[in-house]
Copies of this chain bind each other. A is one copy, B any other.
């Protein structure tokens, strides 16, 4: 088992795209900078979607450019299609993720595409990336969303997820990710699914997981993922954005609580808790009244707590 875990901050993308108001670009930069100063070494700064779809993400190219100036930071962005991937490459993203919904119903509803159409899109991105010089080629992740269940289809067959994992790798993804978009996952399922994906495409092809805390199991699922050898866990500062389906419930697992759990367990995250709380303050100041989640920020660290 790894002694260090990479906490991948997705708040500037998943958090900010989930709230209605638009955070200003200077405030986003200040927040990203504060996250970097706190020790975060992978940040998903935005999404290359048309600005009429998600005006909150219109400045993603500028944010990628800014984040690239922070030494040692892996700059990640979400892309929905080839056009987005081209924009991400132009901006200089180090890592791009394309969400692929394992539930075809969800895919049709969300991006109006069948699985076949999505596969073609990923193949097109894979082919495009191959034309680039290696130094300019970003890491491509196919993110298996609704992998643990779908609010429309209910159970998503595990065999389908495994088939899609293989298809995504064959289409040119460097890696796949498991994504509990709906907050349906449980620890036994997380363990089983990771083992199955590893068996199907190799352990080096699945190192990260994206979890939501919709039903309170987020950190238990993160623990299960770490037990199975995953080394990257997505999280969002303050659980920003909450869950649109469950008012009052947090969306992404909360960075602050995840970092506490990991450091308390003896994993090194490289993250300084006080500096992380400073970043939280910047976020809170930039979005007054926006609910932020997390239990450790309320309760504080244990007395005489020592990070790993």
Distance from A248 Cβ to chain B, minimum over Cβ atoms (Å): 5
| A224 located at the interface, meaning its Cβ lies under 8 Å from any Cβ of chain B in the complex | yes
Do the beta carbons of A304 and B155 come within 8 Å of each other?
yes
The docked-state distance in angstroms from the alpha carbon of A24 to that of B186 is 37
The docked-state distance in angstroms from the alpha carbon of A183 to that of B301 is 10
Interface segment out of the listed A28-36, A51-59, A72-80, A213-221: A213-221
Set of chain B residues within 8 Å of A303, measured between Cβ atoms: 149-154
> Given the known A-B contacts A220-B220, A300-B246, are A213 and B295 also in contact in the complex, defined by CB atoms under 8 Å?
yes
Do the beta carbons of B261 and A217 come within 8 Å of each other?
yes
Q: A154-B305, A187-B223, A215-B260 are in contact. List 9 more A-B contacts (CB 8 A).
A: A188-B264, A188-B266, A215-B295, A216-B254, A216-B261, A216-B295, A220-B222, A246-B298, A246-B299
The list of the 3 closest CB pairs from A to B, nearest first, reads: A216-B295, A154-B304, A186-B264
Do the beta carbons of A215 and B184 come within 8 Å of each other?
no
So how many copies of this chain end up in the complex? 2
Set of chain B residues within 8 Å of A222, measured between Cβ atoms: 220
Q: Which positions 133-156 of chain A face chain B at CB distance < 8 Å?
A: 149-155
Q: Which positions 288-308 of chain A face chain B at CB distance < 8 Å?
A: 294-296, 298-300, 302-305
Q: Which positions 109-140 of chain A face chain B at CB distance < 8 Å?
A: none
